[in-house]
């Protein structure tokens, strides 16, 4: 098992490649590559490590997490897989990009496969359990590797912070509920790989995250 991440675009978004050591199959989660050099960096990592991308997952569909969906589809033939409740968010991205003055966004292809709480995504010999964790966006999901004790958490819980809740479909109490009910019980030694910033652990955030200690 290997978790690798890049920090891409002006939004400093973390793009993850999680790969199975035995089969070399990998999943690309939240490709935020926007610039050509970022796309090249991602491809180079995959080539160098002789990986075979077999899935494209989005934790949620804010623009910074789907910038690279078009590129990944073009390069590896993969369609994004999301929670169905994020479809309106994905469909709104071109409009939001216009509003932000972002000219370089190439529209994501539409998903055909959807994931929900309790589902298990299998890549090679790895299993990622799907957690439904709304609050930052309406149908945000996270991916938990129980065996290896890590979580690809998206924009739910950050080192010393939590996801913003002022965007459409966001809700502060819902987000705190998602963290308390779905994330905290996973175990103090679980590593959280977030959508922005450095990795942390459940234990560290339980102790010192200001939003969880009010
Ligand atoms: Zn987000
Ligand atoms: Zn984000």
Q: How confident is the model at residue 141 (pLDDT cuts 50, 70, 90)?
A: very high
Residue 1 pLDDT > 80: no
Helix (H) or strand (E) holding 205: helix 202-208
Q: Please report which ligand is nearest the Cα atom of 62.
A: 1
Half-sphere exposure of 24 (CA within 13 A, CB side): 8
CA–centroid distance, 78 to ligand 2, in Å, is 21
| pLDDT at 148 (0 to 100) | 96
CA–centroid distance, 91 to ligand 1, in Å, is 15
Q: What's the CA angle centered on 93, arms 194 and 39, to 5 degrees?
A: 60
Residue 214 pLDDT > 80: no
Maximal CA-CA distance, the chain: 46
CA–centroid distance, 180 to ligand 1, in Å, is 19
CA–centroid distance, 20 to ligand 1, in Å, is 27
2 forms beta bridges with: 19
Q: Please report which ligand is nearest the Cα atom of 12.
A: 2
Judged on CB neighbours under 10 Å (0-12, 13-18, 19+), 103 is exposed
Cα separation of 13 and 66, whole Å? 10
Helix (H, G, I), strand (E, B) or coil at 119: coil
pLDDT, tens digit, 9 for 90 and up, residues 162-185: 999 999 999 999 999 999 999 999
Cα separation of 137 and 6, whole Å? 22
Q: Please report which ligand is nearest the Cα atom of 195.
A: 2
Which tokens belong to 178?
Answer: 């998602």
Q: Could you tell me the CATH number of the domain that includes residue 74? A: 3.60.15.10
57 forms beta bridges with: 29, 81
CA–centroid distance, 155 to ligand 1, in Å, is 5
Q: How many helices (H) and strands (E) does the chain have?
A: 6, 14
| pLDDT at 213 (0 to 100) | 83
For 162, the domain range is 2-212
φ, ψ for residue 25, nearest 5 deg = -75, 150
pLDDT, tens digit, 9 for 90 and up, residues 18-60: 999 999 999 999 999 999 999 999 999 999 999 999 999 999 9
Residue 101 pLDDT > 80: yes
Residue 85 pLDDT > 90: yes
Cα separation of 77 and 56, whole Å? 10
Other beta carbons within 10 Å of 72: 24
Over the chain, what is the mean pLDDT? 97
Which tokens belong to 113?
Answer: 């496969």
First CA to last CA across the chain, in angstroms? 36
pLDDT > 70 fraction of the chain, expressed in percent and rounded = 99
Contact 107, 70 (CB under 8 A): yes
Number of domains composing the chain: 1
CA–centroid distance, 89 to ligand 1, in Å, is 10
| Gyration radius (Cα) of the chain, Å | 16
DSSP structure class, residue 111 = P
């Amino acid at each position: 098992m290997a978790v690798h991440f890049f920090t891409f675009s002006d939004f400093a978004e973390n793009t993850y490649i999680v790969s199975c050591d035995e089969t070399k199959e990998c999943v690309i989660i939240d490709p935020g590559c926007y610039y050509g050099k970022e796309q090249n960096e991602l491809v180079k990592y995959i080539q160098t490590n002789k990986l075979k991308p077999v899935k494209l997952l989005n934790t949620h569909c804010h623009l910074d997490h789907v910038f690279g969906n078009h590129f990944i589809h073009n390069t590896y033939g993969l369609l994004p897989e999301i929670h169905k409740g994020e479809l309106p968010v994905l469909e709104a991205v071109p409009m939001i990009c216009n509003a932000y003055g972002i000219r370089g966004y190439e529209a994501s292809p539409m998903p055909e496969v959807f994931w929900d709480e309790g589902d298990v995504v299998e890549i090679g010999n790895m299993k990622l359990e799907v957690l439904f964790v709304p609050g930052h966006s309406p149908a945000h999901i996270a991916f938990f590797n129980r065996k290896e004790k890590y979580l690809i958490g998206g924009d739910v819980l950050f080192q010393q912070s939590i996801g913003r809740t002022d965007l459409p479909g966001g809700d502060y109490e819902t987000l705190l509920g998602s963290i308390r009910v779905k994330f905290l019980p996973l175990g103090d030694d679980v590593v959280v790989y977030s959508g922005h910033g450095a990795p942390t652990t459940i234990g560290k955030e339980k102790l010192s995250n200001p939003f969880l200690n009010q």
